[in-house]
């Protein structure tokens, strides 16, 4: 049986939960009957709701799953959380074989689900398309193994790396098809992070459930700027300045390094606030400062050339003498959103 093909189906199912399951992982599941036909599928739709295995199994009647095979991209849980253990239900339904993409990195599970299944006499096959399964749950893995917020940067530039002309003109560098993809990317993240400079220059709306603004001197217009009119907002500022929370805005005093808010402090605070992933959309200075913390970069490139060394660059934050000092990433994927392309990079 082609288990890799079946795990790919699980990955696609799991992806449907993007933006809704945090802080839980993305999980998809399919059930095969004893002769190998797919008879049910499911995925984790929202934090607090049924896990993928339970979603798929409870769609079946009576003993339809007995002696069948369950395929899932992540090890079934073995503990009581907001829902009962999936491993127990798998055993109860008489599943004969379980095929797993990767082991859970949550220390509460971490092999215990597999152990429980094996002790019940179930045949367990592990590590099918493990790298793809790990990529799917890169946010969850960082949260669990490093106890930090997964940090990504999104930027859109011309071919020569410019995000605006010297006068600040930037709408629009990329096409509608690229901008539609940006909306999908934003939905995957718990929060969007930007700077006061971007708010003042562009007055962006940024429709998102949580937004982080770095505003060292509290100079943005909290009552009238578009970005403050929706969502839950955290504003990080110089700890020596006083500001009182109001409405949907929480003011967060932060230490200052030189003339900048300490970004590492901000990211650590986000994890404390339960924000498991953040997408940075800002200018060259903040983007550059964020590079050393970035787990991922979404770099849209339009087939345009500005050719002006005074135009604004996407990463403009330091001077180096040796190319060995450059930040190094790996290209994970390249996709076309005609006439533009998206290069996705990871560490």
Q: CA 193, 198, 203, 205: dihedral to nearest 10 degrees? A: -20
Q: Do 154 and 314 meet the contact criterion of CB atoms below 8 Å apart?
A: no
Q: Which residues contact 310 (CB under 8 A, 6 or more apart)?
A: 166
Active-site residue (options: 4, 18, 49, 53): 53
Please count the other Cβ atoms lying within 10 Å of the Cβ belonging to residue 136: 25
CA-based radius of gyration for the chain: 23
- 218 φ/ψ sector (left φ>0, alpha ψ -120 to 50, else beta): left
Q: Which residues contact 203 (CB under 8 A, 6 or more apart)?
A: 225, 226, 227
Rounded Cα distance, 96 and 67, in Å: 5
Burial profile 222-254: b = 16 or more Cβ within 10 angstroms, e = fewer: beebebbeebebbbbbbeeeebeeeeebebbeb
Is 53 annotated in the active site?
A: yes
For the annotated catalytic residues, the residue numbers are: 53
């Amino acid at each position: 049986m082609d288990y890799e093909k079946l795990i790919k189906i699980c990955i696609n199912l799991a992806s449907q939960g993007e933006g809704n399951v945090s802080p839980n992982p993305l999980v998809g599941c399919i059930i095969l009957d004893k002769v190998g036909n797919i008879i049910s599928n499911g995925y984790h739709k929202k934090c607090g709701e049924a896990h993928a295995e339970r979603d798929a199994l409870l769609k079946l009647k009576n003993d339809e799953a007995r002696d069948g095979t369950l395929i899932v991209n992540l090890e079934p849980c073995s503990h009581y959380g907001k829902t009962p253990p999936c491993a127990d239900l798998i055993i109860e339904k008489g599943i004969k074989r379980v095929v797993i993409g990767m082991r859970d990195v949550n220390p509460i599970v971490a092999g215990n689900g597999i152990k429980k299944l094996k002790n019940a006499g179930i045949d367990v096959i592990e590590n099918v398309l493990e790298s793809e399964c790990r990529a799917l749950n890169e946010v969850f893995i960082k949260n669990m193994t490093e106890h930090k917020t997964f940090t990504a940067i999104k930027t859109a530039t011309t071919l020569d790396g410019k995000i605006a002309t010297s006068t600040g003109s930037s709408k629009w560098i990329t096409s509608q098809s690229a901008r539609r993809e940006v909306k999908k990317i934003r939905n995957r993240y718990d929060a969007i992070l930007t700077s006061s400079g971007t708010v003042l220059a562009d007055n962006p709306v940024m429709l998102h459930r949580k937004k982080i603004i770095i505003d060292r001197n509290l100079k943005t217009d909290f009552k009238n700027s578009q970005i403050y009119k929706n969502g839950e907002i955290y504003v990080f500022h110089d700890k020596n300045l006083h500001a009182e929370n109001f409405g949907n805005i929480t003011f967060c005093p932060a230490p200052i390094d030189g003339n900048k808010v300490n970004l590492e402090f901000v990211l650590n605070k986000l994890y404390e606030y339960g924000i498991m992933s953040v997408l940075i959309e800002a200018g060259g200075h903040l983007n550059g400062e964020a590079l050393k913390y970035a787990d991922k970069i979404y770099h849209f490139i339009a087939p345009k050339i500005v050719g002006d060394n005074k135009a604004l660059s996407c990463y403009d934050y330091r001077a180096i003498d040796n190319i060995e000092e450059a930040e190094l990433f790996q290209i994970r994927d390249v996709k076309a959103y005609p006439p533009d392309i998206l290069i996705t990079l990871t560490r």
